[in-house]
Structure 1
Amino acid sequence: MTITNQDELDGLKAIGRIVAKTMHTMAGAMEPGMTTRELDEIGREFLEREGAVSAPESTYDFPGATCISVNEEIAHGVPGSRILAAGDLVNLDVSASKNGYFADTGATFRLEPVRPPLDRLCRDGKRAMQIGIAQVGSGRPLAGIGNAIGRFAEKRGYTLIRNLASHGVGRALHEYPEEVATWPDKGERRRMHKGLVLTVEPFLSRGGMWARDGEDDWTLYSEPSAPVVQYEHTVVATDQGAVIVTLPG
Protein backbone atom coordinates (compact mmCIF):
# COMPACT_ATOMS: atom_id res chain seq x y z
CA MET A 1 0.00 0.00 0.00
CA THR A 2 1.03 3.58 -0.59
CA ILE A 3 -0.35 6.18 1.82
CA THR A 4 -1.59 9.19 -0.13
CA ASN A 5 -3.67 11.13 2.41
CA GLN A 6 -4.35 11.58 6.12
CA ASP A 7 -7.51 9.45 6.10
CA GLU A 8 -5.52 6.45 4.87
CA LEU A 9 -2.84 7.02 7.49
CA ASP A 10 -5.49 7.31 10.21
CA GLY A 11 -7.10 4.05 9.07
CA LEU A 12 -3.77 2.26 9.11
CA LYS A 13 -2.89 3.64 12.54
CA ALA A 14 -6.25 2.50 13.91
CA ILE A 15 -5.70 -1.15 13.01
CA GLY A 16 -2.04 -0.81 13.97
CA ARG A 17 -3.03 0.16 17.51
CA ILE A 18 -5.46 -2.74 17.68
CA VAL A 19 -2.93 -5.41 16.72
CA ALA A 20 -0.35 -3.89 19.08
CA LYS A 21 -2.80 -3.84 22.00
CA THR A 22 -3.88 -7.39 21.18
CA MET A 23 -0.32 -8.64 21.29
CA HIS A 24 0.49 -6.87 24.55
CA THR A 25 -2.76 -8.07 26.13
CA MET A 26 -1.82 -11.63 25.25
CA ALA A 27 1.70 -11.16 26.57
CA GLY A 28 0.36 -9.78 29.85
CA ALA A 29 -1.92 -12.78 30.30
CA MET A 30 0.71 -15.37 29.42
CA GLU A 31 1.70 -17.68 32.27
CA PRO A 32 3.06 -21.19 32.81
CA GLY A 33 0.37 -23.85 32.68
CA MET A 34 -1.86 -22.26 30.06
CA THR A 35 -2.16 -23.69 26.57
CA THR A 36 -1.39 -21.78 23.41
CA ARG A 37 -5.06 -22.23 22.41
CA GLU A 38 -6.15 -20.44 25.60
CA LEU A 39 -3.69 -17.65 24.84
CA ASP A 40 -5.00 -17.40 21.27
CA GLU A 41 -8.57 -17.09 22.55
CA ILE A 42 -7.53 -14.02 24.55
CA GLY A 43 -6.24 -12.50 21.33
CA ARG A 44 -9.35 -13.48 19.40
CA GLU A 45 -11.66 -11.92 21.97
CA PHE A 46 -9.69 -8.67 21.94
CA LEU A 47 -9.74 -8.45 18.14
CA GLU A 48 -13.47 -9.15 18.00
CA ARG A 49 -14.19 -6.59 20.69
CA GLU A 50 -12.33 -3.98 18.61
CA GLY A 51 -14.19 -4.92 15.43
CA ALA A 52 -11.07 -6.35 13.76
CA VAL A 53 -10.69 -9.55 11.75
CA SER A 54 -7.76 -11.95 12.09
CA ALA A 55 -5.67 -11.63 8.92
CA PRO A 56 -4.15 -15.14 8.87
CA GLU A 57 -7.62 -16.66 9.28
CA SER A 58 -9.31 -14.50 6.66
CA THR A 59 -6.42 -14.58 4.16
CA TYR A 60 -5.02 -18.10 4.50
CA ASP A 61 -7.61 -20.02 6.56
CA PHE A 62 -4.99 -20.35 9.30
CA PRO A 63 -6.25 -22.49 12.24
CA GLY A 64 -6.03 -19.73 14.84
CA ALA A 65 -6.60 -16.01 15.29
CA THR A 66 -2.90 -15.41 15.97
CA CYS A 67 0.39 -17.22 15.39
CA ILE A 68 2.03 -18.48 18.61
CA SER A 69 5.47 -20.08 18.26
CA VAL A 70 7.23 -21.60 21.28
CA ASN A 71 10.95 -22.33 21.61
CA GLU A 72 11.94 -24.54 18.64
CA GLU A 73 8.96 -23.19 16.65
CA ILE A 74 10.13 -19.97 15.02
CA ALA A 75 7.09 -18.78 13.05
CA HIS A 76 3.47 -19.54 12.15
CA GLY A 77 2.94 -21.74 15.19
CA VAL A 78 -0.60 -23.12 15.40
CA PRO A 79 -2.43 -22.52 18.71
CA GLY A 80 -3.32 -25.80 20.34
CA SER A 81 -2.76 -28.04 23.35
CA ARG A 82 0.88 -27.13 23.94
CA ILE A 83 1.33 -26.03 27.56
CA LEU A 84 3.52 -23.02 28.28
CA ALA A 85 6.27 -23.50 30.85
CA ALA A 86 8.72 -21.34 32.79
CA GLY A 87 11.77 -20.57 30.69
CA ASP A 88 9.90 -20.65 27.36
CA LEU A 89 10.46 -18.18 24.56
CA VAL A 90 7.06 -17.36 23.07
CA ASN A 91 6.68 -15.49 19.81
CA LEU A 92 3.34 -13.74 19.31
CA ASP A 93 2.56 -12.64 15.74
CA VAL A 94 -0.66 -10.65 15.42
CA SER A 95 -2.07 -9.34 12.15
CA ALA A 96 -5.60 -8.17 11.46
CA SER A 97 -7.78 -5.92 9.34
CA LYS A 98 -10.44 -3.30 9.94
CA ASN A 99 -12.26 -1.06 7.46
CA GLY A 100 -10.07 -2.37 4.65
CA TYR A 101 -6.72 -1.72 6.34
CA PHE A 102 -4.24 -4.39 7.47
CA ALA A 103 -1.41 -4.17 10.02
CA ASP A 104 1.07 -6.75 11.26
CA THR A 105 3.19 -6.90 14.42
CA GLY A 106 5.10 -9.45 16.44
CA ALA A 107 7.55 -9.95 19.29
CA THR A 108 9.23 -12.69 21.28
CA PHE A 109 8.39 -12.73 24.98
CA ARG A 110 10.11 -14.54 27.85
CA LEU A 111 8.48 -16.63 30.53
CA GLU A 112 10.96 -16.17 33.35
CA PRO A 113 13.41 -17.45 34.30
CA VAL A 114 15.19 -17.36 30.94
CA ARG A 115 18.86 -18.23 30.57
CA PRO A 116 21.12 -15.14 30.08
CA PRO A 117 22.13 -15.99 26.47
CA LEU A 118 18.45 -16.14 25.45
CA ASP A 119 17.70 -12.94 27.33
CA ARG A 120 20.50 -11.26 25.39
CA LEU A 121 19.17 -12.73 22.13
CA CYS A 122 15.77 -11.16 22.82
CA ARG A 123 17.23 -7.76 23.59
CA ASP A 124 19.41 -7.88 20.47
CA GLY A 125 16.50 -9.12 18.34
CA LYS A 126 14.51 -6.04 19.25
CA ARG A 127 17.56 -3.88 18.56
CA ALA A 128 17.99 -5.51 15.13
CA MET A 129 14.41 -4.53 14.25
CA GLN A 130 15.03 -0.95 15.41
CA ILE A 131 18.19 -0.75 13.31
CA GLY A 132 16.22 -1.91 10.27
CA ILE A 133 13.43 0.60 10.90
CA ALA A 134 16.03 3.39 11.05
CA GLN A 135 16.83 2.69 7.38
CA VAL A 136 13.25 3.31 6.22
CA GLY A 137 12.40 6.54 4.40
CA SER A 138 11.35 8.06 1.08
CA GLY A 139 13.85 7.38 -1.70
CA ARG A 140 16.06 5.14 0.40
CA PRO A 141 17.22 1.71 -0.86
CA LEU A 142 15.29 -1.30 0.37
CA ALA A 143 18.62 -3.11 0.59
CA GLY A 144 19.66 -0.70 3.34
CA ILE A 145 17.37 -2.52 5.78
CA GLY A 146 19.06 -5.89 5.38
CA ASN A 147 22.54 -4.42 5.10
CA ALA A 148 22.23 -2.59 8.42
CA ILE A 149 20.70 -5.58 10.21
CA GLY A 150 23.35 -7.85 8.73
CA ARG A 151 26.20 -5.69 10.00
CA PHE A 152 24.67 -5.70 13.49
CA ALA A 153 24.13 -9.47 13.48
CA GLU A 154 27.64 -10.24 12.27
CA LYS A 155 29.22 -7.92 14.84
CA ARG A 156 27.30 -9.64 17.64
CA GLY A 157 27.95 -13.18 16.41
CA TYR A 158 24.39 -13.95 15.28
CA THR A 159 22.87 -15.40 12.14
CA LEU A 160 19.71 -14.36 10.30
CA ILE A 161 16.98 -16.64 8.97
CA ARG A 162 17.23 -16.02 5.22
CA ASN A 163 13.92 -17.26 3.85
CA LEU A 164 11.55 -15.30 6.11
CA ALA A 165 11.39 -11.73 4.87
CA SER A 166 9.67 -8.44 5.53
CA HIS A 167 6.85 -7.50 3.13
CA GLY A 168 4.45 -4.85 1.98
CA VAL A 169 1.15 -4.57 3.83
CA GLY A 170 -1.80 -2.19 4.16
CA ARG A 171 -4.64 -3.22 1.86
CA ALA A 172 -3.75 -6.92 2.18
CA LEU A 173 -1.62 -8.94 4.57
CA HIS A 174 1.08 -9.46 1.94
CA GLU A 175 1.51 -7.13 -1.03
CA TYR A 176 4.19 -5.17 -2.91
CA PRO A 177 7.06 -5.30 -2.13
CA GLU A 178 6.35 -8.99 -1.61
CA GLU A 179 9.76 -9.79 -0.13
CA VAL A 180 12.17 -7.41 1.60
CA ALA A 181 15.32 -9.12 2.83
CA THR A 182 16.33 -8.47 6.42
CA TRP A 183 19.78 -9.83 5.57
CA PRO A 184 22.33 -8.47 3.04
CA ASP A 185 21.02 -8.98 -0.49
CA LYS A 186 23.30 -7.78 -3.28
CA GLY A 187 20.56 -8.27 -5.85
CA GLU A 188 18.11 -5.82 -4.26
CA ARG A 189 17.92 -2.62 -6.36
CA ARG A 190 14.50 -1.22 -5.42
CA ARG A 191 13.94 1.99 -3.49
CA MET A 192 11.20 2.98 -1.09
CA HIS A 193 8.77 5.55 -2.41
CA LYS A 194 6.98 8.07 -0.23
CA GLY A 195 4.05 6.52 1.64
CA LEU A 196 5.15 2.90 1.14
CA VAL A 197 3.79 0.63 3.88
CA LEU A 198 5.88 -2.38 4.87
CA THR A 199 6.93 -4.52 7.80
CA VAL A 200 10.40 -4.72 9.28
CA GLU A 201 10.81 -8.13 10.92
CA PRO A 202 14.26 -9.72 11.21
CA PHE A 203 14.57 -13.26 12.57
CA LEU A 204 17.75 -13.19 14.65
CA SER A 205 19.32 -16.50 15.66
CA ARG A 206 22.20 -18.15 17.47
CA GLY A 207 23.03 -20.37 14.50
CA GLY A 208 19.86 -20.82 12.43
CA MET A 209 20.01 -20.01 8.71
CA TRP A 210 16.74 -21.21 7.20
CA ALA A 211 13.12 -21.84 8.13
CA ARG A 212 11.90 -25.36 7.37
CA ASP A 213 8.39 -26.73 7.29
CA GLY A 214 6.96 -28.85 10.08
CA GLU A 215 4.47 -31.70 9.87
CA ASP A 216 1.36 -29.52 10.24
CA ASP A 217 2.05 -27.53 7.02
CA TRP A 218 2.09 -24.27 9.02
CA THR A 219 4.68 -24.24 11.79
CA LEU A 220 8.26 -23.36 10.82
CA TYR A 221 11.47 -24.51 12.51
CA SER A 222 15.10 -23.39 12.39
CA GLU A 223 17.59 -25.21 10.16
CA PRO A 224 20.04 -25.95 11.67
CA SER A 225 18.21 -26.14 14.97
CA ALA A 226 18.96 -23.02 17.06
CA PRO A 227 17.16 -20.37 19.14
CA VAL A 228 15.43 -17.70 17.02
CA VAL A 229 13.61 -14.50 17.96
CA GLN A 230 11.49 -12.17 15.83
CA TYR A 231 10.36 -8.59 16.37
CA GLU A 232 8.10 -6.77 13.91
CA HIS A 233 6.48 -3.42 13.28
CA THR A 234 4.43 -2.08 10.39
CA VAL A 235 5.91 1.21 9.20
CA VAL A 236 5.33 3.94 6.60
CA ALA A 237 8.20 5.44 4.61
CA THR A 238 8.13 9.26 4.76
CA ASP A 239 10.49 12.13 3.98
CA GLN A 240 11.30 12.25 7.70
CA GLY A 241 11.98 8.50 8.00
CA ALA A 242 9.77 5.71 9.30
CA VAL A 243 6.39 6.22 10.95
CA ILE A 244 5.62 3.20 13.14
CA VAL A 245 1.87 2.45 13.13
CA THR A 246 1.87 -0.68 15.34
CA LEU A 247 2.25 1.08 18.68
CA PRO A 248 -0.27 0.43 21.46
CA GLY A 249 -0.75 4.04 22.54
Structure 2
Amino acid sequence: MRGRSPALEIKSPSDLGGMRAAGLVVAEIHAVMREAVRPGATGRELDAIARRELAARGATSNFLGYHGFPATVCVSVNDVVVHGIPDDTPFQEGDIVSLDFGAVVDGWHGDAAVTIPVGEVSESVARLLVDCEDALWAGIAAMRAGARLREIGTAVEQLVRSRGEYGIVEEYGGHGIGTAMHQDPHVMNYRTRQRGPKLEPGLCLAVEPMITLGQPQTYTLSDRWTVKSTDGAWAAHFEHSIAVTDGGPFVLTAPDGGAARLSELGVPNPVTLPR
Protein backbone atom coordinates (compact mmCIF):
# COMPACT_ATOMS: atom_id res chain seq x y z
CA MET A 1 0.00 0.00 0.00
CA ARG A 2 2.88 2.39 0.66
CA GLY A 3 3.46 4.89 -2.14
CA ARG A 4 0.04 4.37 -3.73
CA SER A 5 -2.13 7.38 -4.43
CA PRO A 6 -5.11 7.15 -2.06
CA ALA A 7 -7.37 8.22 -4.94
CA LEU A 8 -6.69 5.09 -6.99
CA GLU A 9 -9.12 2.19 -6.59
CA ILE A 10 -7.24 -1.12 -6.79
CA LYS A 11 -9.48 -4.12 -7.43
CA SER A 12 -9.12 -7.54 -5.87
CA PRO A 13 -9.34 -10.63 -8.11
CA SER A 14 -13.01 -11.05 -7.18
CA ASP A 15 -13.64 -7.37 -7.93
CA LEU A 16 -12.18 -7.90 -11.39
CA GLY A 17 -14.74 -10.63 -11.95
CA GLY A 18 -17.45 -8.04 -11.35
CA MET A 19 -15.72 -5.61 -13.70
CA ARG A 20 -15.59 -8.30 -16.38
CA ALA A 21 -19.31 -8.99 -16.01
CA ALA A 22 -20.07 -5.30 -16.57
CA GLY A 23 -17.61 -5.15 -19.46
CA LEU A 24 -19.23 -8.09 -21.23
CA VAL A 25 -22.66 -6.47 -20.97
CA VAL A 26 -21.21 -3.35 -22.61
CA ALA A 27 -19.60 -5.46 -25.36
CA GLU A 28 -22.82 -7.36 -26.07
CA ILE A 29 -24.96 -4.25 -26.31
CA HIS A 30 -22.40 -2.47 -28.47
CA ALA A 31 -22.63 -5.39 -30.90
CA VAL A 32 -26.42 -5.09 -31.06
CA MET A 33 -26.26 -1.34 -31.65
CA ARG A 34 -23.61 -1.71 -34.37
CA GLU A 35 -25.93 -3.97 -36.34
CA ALA A 36 -28.59 -1.25 -36.23
CA VAL A 37 -26.37 1.50 -37.71
CA ARG A 38 -27.47 1.98 -41.31
CA PRO A 39 -28.77 4.77 -43.54
CA GLY A 40 -32.12 5.97 -42.22
CA ALA A 41 -31.55 4.80 -38.64
CA THR A 42 -31.55 7.42 -35.89
CA GLY A 43 -29.75 8.05 -32.65
CA ARG A 44 -33.01 7.86 -30.74
CA GLU A 45 -33.59 4.37 -32.13
CA LEU A 46 -30.15 3.30 -30.93
CA ASP A 47 -30.89 4.73 -27.49
CA ALA A 48 -34.09 2.67 -27.34
CA ILE A 49 -32.09 -0.44 -28.26
CA ALA A 50 -29.59 0.27 -25.50
CA ARG A 51 -32.36 0.71 -22.92
CA ARG A 52 -34.06 -2.51 -24.00
CA GLU A 53 -30.86 -4.54 -23.94
CA LEU A 54 -29.83 -3.21 -20.53
CA ALA A 55 -33.18 -4.20 -19.07
CA ALA A 56 -32.94 -7.66 -20.64
CA ARG A 57 -29.63 -8.23 -18.85
CA GLY A 58 -30.67 -6.80 -15.50
CA ALA A 59 -28.12 -4.01 -15.87
CA THR A 60 -28.52 -0.26 -15.50
CA SER A 61 -27.15 2.73 -17.38
CA ASN A 62 -24.28 4.78 -15.99
CA PHE A 63 -24.91 7.48 -18.61
CA LEU A 64 -28.61 8.19 -18.11
CA GLY A 65 -28.95 11.06 -15.64
CA TYR A 66 -25.18 11.47 -15.20
CA HIS A 67 -24.90 15.19 -14.41
CA GLY A 68 -28.24 15.46 -16.21
CA PHE A 69 -27.34 13.58 -19.42
CA PRO A 70 -30.71 12.63 -20.96
CA ALA A 71 -29.88 9.32 -22.69
CA THR A 72 -28.28 5.89 -22.24
CA VAL A 73 -25.82 6.28 -25.11
CA CYS A 74 -23.86 9.19 -26.58
CA VAL A 75 -24.42 9.30 -30.35
CA SER A 76 -21.91 11.59 -32.04
CA VAL A 77 -22.15 12.06 -35.82
CA ASN A 78 -19.41 13.34 -38.15
CA ASP A 79 -17.96 16.55 -36.63
CA VAL A 80 -19.44 15.81 -33.20
CA VAL A 81 -16.43 14.59 -31.23
CA VAL A 82 -18.16 13.28 -28.12
CA HIS A 83 -21.26 13.51 -25.88
CA GLY A 84 -23.79 13.78 -28.70
CA ILE A 85 -27.43 13.54 -27.54
CA PRO A 86 -29.50 11.03 -29.54
CA ASP A 87 -32.21 12.59 -31.71
CA ASP A 88 -34.45 11.76 -34.69
CA THR A 89 -32.05 12.88 -37.46
CA PRO A 90 -31.61 9.96 -39.90
CA PHE A 91 -28.07 8.78 -40.59
CA GLN A 92 -26.94 9.31 -44.17
CA GLU A 93 -24.78 7.09 -46.38
CA GLY A 94 -21.17 8.14 -45.80
CA ASP A 95 -21.69 9.42 -42.24
CA ILE A 96 -19.69 8.18 -39.27
CA VAL A 97 -21.39 7.55 -35.94
CA SER A 98 -19.59 7.28 -32.59
CA LEU A 99 -21.40 5.28 -29.92
CA ASP A 100 -20.18 5.82 -26.34
CA PHE A 101 -22.01 3.54 -23.95
CA GLY A 102 -21.69 2.13 -20.46
CA ALA A 103 -23.43 -0.21 -18.01
CA VAL A 104 -23.53 -1.00 -14.31
CA VAL A 105 -23.73 -4.60 -13.09
CA ASP A 106 -23.83 -5.26 -9.34
CA GLY A 107 -22.22 -1.90 -8.67
CA TRP A 108 -19.36 -2.30 -11.19
CA HIS A 109 -19.05 -0.06 -14.23
CA GLY A 110 -18.09 -0.76 -17.84
CA ASP A 111 -17.52 1.87 -20.54
CA ALA A 112 -16.57 1.63 -24.22
CA ALA A 113 -16.89 3.58 -27.45
CA VAL A 114 -16.64 2.81 -31.16
CA THR A 115 -16.97 4.86 -34.35
CA ILE A 116 -18.90 3.15 -37.14
CA PRO A 117 -19.16 4.00 -40.85
CA VAL A 118 -22.67 4.30 -42.27
CA GLY A 119 -22.39 2.39 -45.54
CA GLU A 120 -19.46 3.44 -47.73
CA VAL A 121 -17.25 6.29 -46.52
CA SER A 122 -14.42 8.20 -48.15
CA GLU A 123 -10.89 6.82 -48.06
CA SER A 124 -9.67 9.53 -45.69
CA VAL A 125 -12.54 8.88 -43.28
CA ALA A 126 -11.97 5.12 -43.42
CA ARG A 127 -8.30 5.70 -42.54
CA LEU A 128 -9.33 8.00 -39.69
CA LEU A 129 -11.31 5.18 -38.11
CA VAL A 130 -8.55 2.61 -38.53
CA ASP A 131 -5.88 4.94 -37.17
CA CYS A 132 -7.93 6.00 -34.14
CA GLU A 133 -8.70 2.39 -33.22
CA ASP A 134 -5.05 1.44 -33.69
CA ALA A 135 -4.10 4.31 -31.38
CA LEU A 136 -6.42 2.88 -28.74
CA TRP A 137 -4.71 -0.50 -28.95
CA ALA A 138 -1.28 1.13 -28.82
CA GLY A 139 -2.33 2.76 -25.55
CA ILE A 140 -3.68 -0.53 -24.21
CA ALA A 141 -0.45 -2.31 -25.12
CA ALA A 142 1.44 0.17 -22.91
CA MET A 143 -0.58 -0.85 -19.83
CA ARG A 144 1.91 -3.25 -18.29
CA ALA A 145 2.35 -3.53 -14.54
CA GLY A 146 5.14 -1.23 -13.39
CA ALA A 147 4.75 1.23 -16.26
CA ARG A 148 3.87 4.86 -15.62
CA LEU A 149 0.55 6.40 -16.62
CA ARG A 150 2.33 8.75 -19.04
CA GLU A 151 3.33 5.80 -21.21
CA ILE A 152 -0.28 5.29 -22.31
CA GLY A 153 -0.63 8.80 -23.73
CA THR A 154 2.84 8.63 -25.24
CA ALA A 155 1.94 5.43 -27.10
CA VAL A 156 -1.34 6.92 -28.35
CA GLU A 157 0.34 10.10 -29.59
CA GLN A 158 3.20 8.27 -31.28
CA LEU A 159 0.82 6.04 -33.21
CA VAL A 160 -1.37 8.95 -34.29
CA ARG A 161 1.60 11.10 -35.38
CA SER A 162 3.02 8.20 -37.38
CA ARG A 163 -0.18 7.91 -39.43
CA GLY A 164 -0.93 11.45 -40.56
CA GLU A 165 -1.75 15.07 -39.80
CA TYR A 166 -4.55 14.41 -37.35
CA GLY A 167 -5.71 16.62 -34.52
CA ILE A 168 -5.46 14.93 -31.12
CA VAL A 169 -8.25 16.26 -28.92
CA GLU A 170 -6.73 17.30 -25.58
CA GLU A 171 -9.75 18.55 -23.61
CA TYR A 172 -11.09 15.02 -23.11
CA GLY A 173 -9.43 11.74 -22.25
CA GLY A 174 -9.68 8.46 -20.41
CA HIS A 175 -10.17 7.77 -16.72
CA GLY A 176 -10.11 5.29 -13.93
CA ILE A 177 -13.21 3.09 -13.70
CA GLY A 178 -14.66 0.73 -11.11
CA THR A 179 -17.29 1.44 -8.47
CA ALA A 180 -17.86 4.74 -10.32
CA MET A 181 -17.74 5.44 -14.04
CA HIS A 182 -15.18 8.23 -13.71
CA GLN A 183 -12.36 7.90 -11.20
CA ASP A 184 -8.78 9.02 -10.87
CA PRO A 185 -6.47 9.04 -12.69
CA HIS A 186 -7.23 11.10 -15.78
CA VAL A 187 -5.65 9.40 -18.82
CA MET A 188 -4.20 11.80 -21.38
CA ASN A 189 -3.98 10.89 -25.08
CA TYR A 190 -0.62 12.59 -25.51
CA ARG A 191 2.75 12.65 -23.76
CA THR A 192 2.96 14.79 -20.64
CA ARG A 193 5.85 15.95 -18.48
CA GLN A 194 4.39 14.28 -15.42
CA ARG A 195 5.08 10.57 -15.27
CA GLY A 196 1.90 9.91 -13.35
CA PRO A 197 1.26 7.02 -10.98
CA LYS A 198 2.73 3.57 -11.47
CA LEU A 199 0.34 1.06 -13.01
CA GLU A 200 -0.22 -1.88 -10.71
CA PRO A 201 -2.31 -5.05 -10.89
CA GLY A 202 -5.95 -4.35 -10.07
CA LEU A 203 -6.01 -0.84 -11.51
CA CYS A 204 -8.73 -0.43 -14.15
CA LEU A 205 -8.65 2.34 -16.72
CA ALA A 206 -10.77 3.48 -19.65
CA VAL A 207 -8.53 4.54 -22.52
CA GLU A 208 -10.26 6.63 -25.21
CA PRO A 209 -8.40 8.55 -27.91
CA MET A 210 -10.34 11.12 -29.96
CA ILE A 211 -8.78 12.42 -33.16
CA THR A 212 -9.96 14.66 -35.99
CA LEU A 213 -9.22 15.13 -39.67
CA GLY A 214 -8.36 18.75 -38.92
CA GLN A 215 -7.50 20.83 -35.89
CA PRO A 216 -7.93 19.50 -32.33
CA GLN A 217 -9.89 22.43 -30.89
CA THR A 218 -13.52 21.89 -29.85
CA TYR A 219 -16.52 23.80 -28.55
CA THR A 220 -19.68 22.78 -26.71
CA LEU A 221 -23.21 23.52 -27.92
CA SER A 222 -25.82 25.29 -25.82
CA ASP A 223 -27.21 21.91 -24.69
CA ARG A 224 -24.03 21.79 -22.53
CA TRP A 225 -23.16 18.31 -23.80
CA THR A 226 -22.58 18.10 -27.54
CA VAL A 227 -18.87 18.69 -28.31
CA LYS A 228 -17.98 19.60 -31.90
CA SER A 229 -14.73 20.30 -33.68
CA THR A 230 -14.20 24.02 -34.07
CA ASP A 231 -13.21 23.76 -37.75
CA GLY A 232 -15.96 21.24 -38.66
CA ALA A 233 -13.48 18.39 -39.12
CA TRP A 234 -14.89 14.91 -38.69
CA ALA A 235 -13.78 13.00 -35.62
CA ALA A 236 -13.32 9.43 -34.41
CA HIS A 237 -13.55 8.09 -30.86
CA PHE A 238 -12.67 4.59 -29.64
CA GLU A 239 -12.61 3.34 -26.04
CA HIS A 240 -12.19 0.20 -23.96
CA SER A 241 -12.10 -0.47 -20.22
CA ILE A 242 -8.95 -2.39 -19.27
CA ALA A 243 -7.57 -4.08 -16.15
CA VAL A 244 -3.86 -4.10 -15.38
CA THR A 245 -2.77 -7.62 -14.35
CA ASP A 246 0.54 -9.34 -13.67
CA GLY A 247 0.04 -11.22 -16.94
CA GLY A 248 -0.59 -8.10 -19.04
CA PRO A 249 -3.56 -5.88 -19.90
CA PHE A 250 -6.97 -7.55 -19.92
CA VAL A 251 -9.60 -5.71 -21.97
CA LEU A 252 -12.76 -5.94 -19.92
CA THR A 253 -15.05 -4.68 -22.70
CA ALA A 254 -13.68 -6.95 -25.46
CA PRO A 255 -15.32 -10.38 -25.82
CA ASP A 256 -11.90 -12.11 -26.03
CA GLY A 257 -10.28 -9.92 -23.40
CA GLY A 258 -8.22 -8.26 -26.12
CA ALA A 259 -6.26 -11.44 -26.88
CA ALA A 260 -6.38 -11.23 -30.69
CA ARG A 261 -5.29 -7.61 -31.07
CA LEU A 262 -2.68 -7.75 -28.33
CA SER A 263 -1.22 -10.94 -29.81
CA GLU A 264 -0.77 -9.09 -33.11
CA LEU A 265 1.17 -6.44 -31.18
CA GLY A 266 3.31 -9.03 -29.40
CA VAL A 267 1.90 -8.08 -26.00
CA PRO A 268 1.30 -10.72 -23.29
CA ASN A 269 -2.35 -11.04 -22.38
CA PRO A 270 -3.87 -13.27 -19.69
CA VAL A 271 -6.27 -15.89 -21.04
CA THR A 272 -8.53 -15.32 -18.05
CA LEU A 273 -8.62 -12.87 -15.18
CA PRO A 274 -6.85 -13.90 -11.98
CA ARG A 275 -8.98 -15.55 -9.31
TM-score by length of 2: 0.86
Q: Kindly indicate whether the alpha-carbon contact (under 8 Å) linking 2:80 and 2:234 is maintained by their aligned counterparts in 1.
A: no
Query: Which shifted more, 153-162 or 142-151?
Result: 153-162
In the TM superposition, what are the counterparts of 1:148-227 in structure 2 within 5 Å? 148-157=155-164, 158-177=166-185, 179-227=186-234
Quote the Cα distance in structure 2 between the aligned partners of 1:42 and 1:248. 20
| Unpaired stretches in structure 1, ≥5 consecutive residues | none
Structure 2: which amino acid aligns with 1:85? Q
For the 8 Å contact 1:86–1:111, the answer to whether it is kept is yes
Shift of 1:213: 0.7
Question: Residue 225 of structure 1: CA displacement?
Answer: 2.7
RCO (CA 8 Å, sep 6+): is it higher in 1 or 2? 1
SS at match of 1:97: strand
Task: State whether residues 208 and 228 of structure 1, in contact with CA within 8 Å, keep that contact through their aligned partners in structure 2.
Answer: no
Aligned residue number for residue 72 of structure 2: 65
Per-residue CA distance 1:45-75 (angstroms, 9 max, x = gap): 0011111111111433311111111111111
What amino acid is aligned across from residue 169 of structure 2 in structure 1? I
Out of 253, 256, 274, the residue aligned to residue 246 of structure 1 is 253
**Superimposed CA distance per residue, residues 91-133 of structure 1 (whole angstroms, 9 cap, x where no aligned partner):** 0011111101001001000011100110011111110000000
Q: Does 1:17 align with 2:21?
A: no
1:211/1:239 CA distance change after superposition, 3 Å: farther
The answer to whether the aligner puts 1:56 opposite 2:63 as a matched pair is yes
Once residues 205 and 196 of structure 2 are traced to their aligned partners in structure 1, the CA distance between those partners, rounded to angstroms, is 16
**In 1: Cα distance, 2:191 partner to 2:201 partner:** 23
Supply the RMSD in Å over aligned alpha carbons: 1.3
Deviation string for 1:183-208 (max 9, x for gaps)? 11113432212210111111122223
Say which SS state the counterpart of residue 54 (structure 1) adopts. coil
Q: Equivalent pairs: percent with the same residue?
A: 33
Contact 1:208 1:227 in 2 (8 A): no
Relative to structure 1, is the Cα distance of residues 104 and 114 closer, same or farther in structure 2, using a 3 angstrom cutoff? same
Q: Is the 8 A contact 1:18 1:248 kept in 2?
A: no
Bigger shift: residues 185-194 or 164-173: 185-194
- Decide whether aligned partners of structure 1 residues 184 and 9 sit closer, same or farther in structure 2, where only a CA change above 3 A counts: same
Distance 1:175 1:123 in 2: 28
Distance 1:221 1:188 in 2: 30
2:36 aligned with 1:29, yes or no?
Answer: yes
> Equivalent residue of 1:39, what SS?
helix
- Aligned mate of 2:51, from 44, 48, 59: 44
Secondary structure in structure 1 of the residue aligned to 2:64: helix
Question: How far did residue 224 of structure 1 move?
Answer: 3.3
SS of equivalent to 2:219: strand
The alpha carbon displacement at 1:85 in A equals: 1.1
**1:193-247 deviations in whole A, cap 9, x for unaligned?**
2210111111122223133211211111113331210111000111222110102
SS at match of 1:56: coil
Give the whole-Å Cα distance in 1 for the aligned partners of 2:178 and 2:170: 24
**1:189 and 1:12 mapped to 2: Cα distance?**
23
Instruction: Name the amino acid aligned to 1:170.
Output: G
- Alignment gaps of 5+ in structure 2: 1-8, 257-275
Partner of 2:259: none
Partner of 2:267: none
Deviations 1:12-61 (A, max 9, x none): 11110101111110110122112210111011100111111111114333
- What is aligned with 1:2? 10
Q: Which sits farther off after the overlay, 164-173 or 52-61? A: 52-61
Matched with 1:84 is: 91
